[in-house]
Amino acid sequence: MSILFESVLVANRGEIAARVLRTVQDMGMRGLVVHHAADRDTPAVRMADLAIEITGSTPVAAYLDGAQIIAKAKAAGVSAIHPGYGFLSENAAFAQAVAAAGMTFVGPGPDIIKLMGDKVRARAFVAVHGFPVAPSAIEDDNPATFVERARSVGAPLLIKPSAGGGGKGMRIVRDMAVLEEEIERARSEGLRYFGDGRLYVERYIEQPRHIEVQILGDSHGNVVHVHERECSIQRRFQKIIEESPAPGLTPEERARICEIASGIARAANYCNAGTVEFIYGGGEFFFLETNTRLQVEHPVTEEVVGIDLVAEQLRIAAGLPISRTQAEITSTGHAIELRLYAEDAARDFAPTTGPVLVFRPPVGVRVDAGVVEGGAVSSAFDPMIAKVIVHGKDRAEALDRADAALANFVLLGCRTNAAYLRRLLADADVQRGDFHTGTIAEKPELQAEPPLDCITKARLLAAASLVLRPVRDAADAVPALHAMIGDWRN
């Protein structure tokens, strides 16, 4: 295959930067990455053909500085920029600036980002085209009557910022007496996180499932879905475990949700990769949002369909058609992704930091990691440090492999949620596939570390004490009485 671009710069960090670079280099292209000084010793920087340092008032600010990144890319002679996910990936102004600078943005164009990346515009567009959306009220329609219209939606309702994602600014209201107070809190968070205080509300579906569909579109008018993913196991609107296919859907439901997603993409003339997300409850699907970028959980789709989604993004960005027709995209077996976070589940998932003293990922399974042994986990970024992705012939085998992979994952120096993920996988409801977006909140008992038995505790304390220098010195020291003998031998 001919080289699509001479060079591709990844405007991101961590595991996604390394993952994109891997495909770029496998396809014979030169792979570059930007990095803040805090990320100097990370996998992406180590593997890149060229690593370019960027600066900012904070590490995050550096990765959000689109003008600086474009200037550095131009100076390095870059052909295309891949934004990964997060940071500038859904920034229409950045996508437009990349094109204006004579480079290719690997993702949907600015018009698509403006339409489908904005939750309010996307919902209005989807509703006008006859696709299912939950009852809602949008502030932009008439700000003066927003509170009144929100009340008419009825409780419970969910307040959301029009911009951003990741659960930030989202609030569930079950008591209408606090509606106005919660609206102001959501607005404040929207302004703080996204610089945009616009809101909308929608009917909150109790105990819903969160199911999404991977889509691809190209400049030749082709649109395909790449099957669905189950993302219901989440806390505070943040996903923790994802899988494909979604358990419990009938063949008819599976076909319907995928066709709705494809229909939305066709109506929008969607080009490049994206994800259409739905809330599912009571046998009905309601459009939630469209993410105009690659998703964190894209590996589960890659595992069941055998398609490199980053390669497809690059092909589409270069003007080529999608490599497969819809009929050629089939799902085989079952895949599960587990997000390894630097956090302490027993302390209400408080973020943790520390050096990476030992890093030994399990062998035989896919691990997309953003840290290396000898590096460190800091508080400067999101606490996700790696993803473990397993594949099995069916869900039962995939669950077993996921547990085994976590059991054999060694990361010392920083507390992670690995043990908590194992307890979650062993839960009876999760084993049956009977869960919803509130399942984790309903099972706080899983957060507590199980007590150690006396024998195990004694062994661990003994092993720990033996690695301490004072204990080793005392154990190796010759007693004073024996030392007085000198070199005498009998």
Q: Give the 3-state DSSP-derived string for 370-386, with helices as H, strands as E and coil as C.
A: CCCCCCEECCCCCCEEE
Separation between Cα atoms, residue 160 and residue 182, nearest integer Å:
11
Separation between Cα atoms, residue 472 and residue 293, nearest integer Å:
54
- Is residue 330 one of the residues assigned to a domain? yes
Same domain, 198 and 218: no
Separation between Cα atoms, residue 322 and residue 265, nearest integer Å:
14
Separation between Cα atoms, residue 301 and residue 303, nearest integer Å:
5
Which domain, by its residues, includes 149?
135-203
Same domain, 416 and 338: yes
Task: Give pLDDT, residue 108.
Answer: 98
| Cβ-contact 174, 154 below 8 angstroms | no
Same domain, 195 and 215: no
- Is residue 457 one of the residues assigned to a domain? no
Nearest-10 Cα torsion for 181, 186, 191, 196: -120
Dihedral sign, Cα of residue 305, residue 309, residue 311, residue 312: positive
| Cβ-contact 237, 170 below 8 angstroms | yes
Task: Give pLDDT, residue 166.
Answer: 64
Tokens encoding 206: 């109790």
Separation between Cα atoms, residue 354 and residue 412, nearest integer Å:
9
Same domain, 222 and 195: no
Task: Give pLDDT, residue 472.
Answer: 77
Q: Please, which residues bridge with residue 80 across strands?
A: 8, 104
Q: DSSP secondary structure string, 422-484?
A: HHHHHSHHHHHT---TTHHHH-GGGGSPPPPPHHHHHHHHHHHHHTSHHHHHHHHSPPHHHHT
- Is residue 460 one of the residues assigned to a domain? no
Per-residue pLDDT of the chain (490 residues; tens, 9 = 90+): 578 999 999 999 999 999 999 999 999 999 999 999 999 999 999 999 999 999 999 999 999 999 999 999 999 999 999 999 999 999 999 999 999 999 999 999 999 999 998 888 998 999 999 999 988 888 888 889 999 999 999 889 999 888 766 677 889 999 999 999 999 999 998 888 888 888 989 888 889 999 999 999 999 999 999 999 999 999 988 999 999 999 999 999 999 999 999 999 999 999 999 999 999 988 889 999 999 999 999 999 999 999 999 999 999 999 999 999 999 999 999 999 999 999 999 999 999 999 999 999 999 999 999 999 999 999 999 899 999 999 999 999 999 999 999 999 999 999 999 999 999 999 999 999 999 999 999 999 999 988 888 898 888 888 888 778 887 777 777 777 776 777 666 5
Task: Give pLDDT, residue 489.
Answer: 64
Same domain, 277 and 336: yes
Contacts of 454 (CB under 8 A, 6+ apart): none
- Is residue 472 one of the residues assigned to a domain? no
Same domain, 154 and 68: no
Task: Give pLDDT, residue 164.
Answer: 65
Same domain, 278 and 180: no
Give the domain-ending residue among 175, 203, 231. Answer: 203
- Is residue 126 one of the residues assigned to a domain? no
3-class SS of residue 224: strand
Phi/psi for 474 (5° steps) reads -65, -40
How far, in whole angstroms, is CA 467 from its chain's centroid? Answer: 37
Same domain, 217 and 345: yes
Beta strand pairing call for 157-161 and 171-173: antiparallel
3-class SS of residue 305: helix
Same domain, 44 and 174: no
Residue 364's CATH number: 3.30.470.20
The radius of gyration of the chain from alpha carbons, rounded to an integer in Å, stands at 25
Residue 174's CATH number: 3.30.1490.20
Contacts of 337 (CB under 8 A, 6+ apart): 241, 242, 243, 297, 299, 300, 387, 388, 389
Residue 74's CATH number: 3.40.50.20
Going from the C-alpha of 194 to that of each of 87, 118, 356, the distances in angstroms are 11, 12, 32
- Is residue 181 one of the residues assigned to a domain? yes
Q: Kindly report the CA angle at 90 between 85 and 92, in degrees rounded to 5?
A: 150
- Is residue 398 one of the residues assigned to a domain? yes
Give the domain-ending residue among 183, 203, 223. Answer: 203
Going from the C-alpha of 129 to that of each of 125, 287, 487, the distances in angstroms are 6, 12, 95
Separation between Cα atoms, residue 138 and residue 123, nearest integer Å:
9
Q: Kindly report the CA angle at 435 between 434 and 438, in degrees rounded to 5?
A: 160
- Is residue 162 one of the residues assigned to a domain? yes
Same domain, 241 and 147: no
Nearest-10 Cα torsion for 186, 192, 197, 203: -30
Separation between Cα atoms, residue 215 and residue 357, nearest integer Å:
40
Which of 359, 167, 379 has the alpha carbon at shortest distance from 277? 167
Task: Name the domain count of the chain.
Answer: 3
Same domain, 49 and 143: no
Separation between Cα atoms, residue 410 and residue 164, nearest integer Å:
34
Same domain, 339 and 234: yes
Separation between Cα atoms, residue 490 and residue 105, nearest integer Å:
83
Task: Give pLDDT, residue 455.
Answer: 92
Contacts of 246 (CB under 8 A, 6+ apart): 209, 211, 228, 229, 230, 254
3-class SS of residue 310: helix
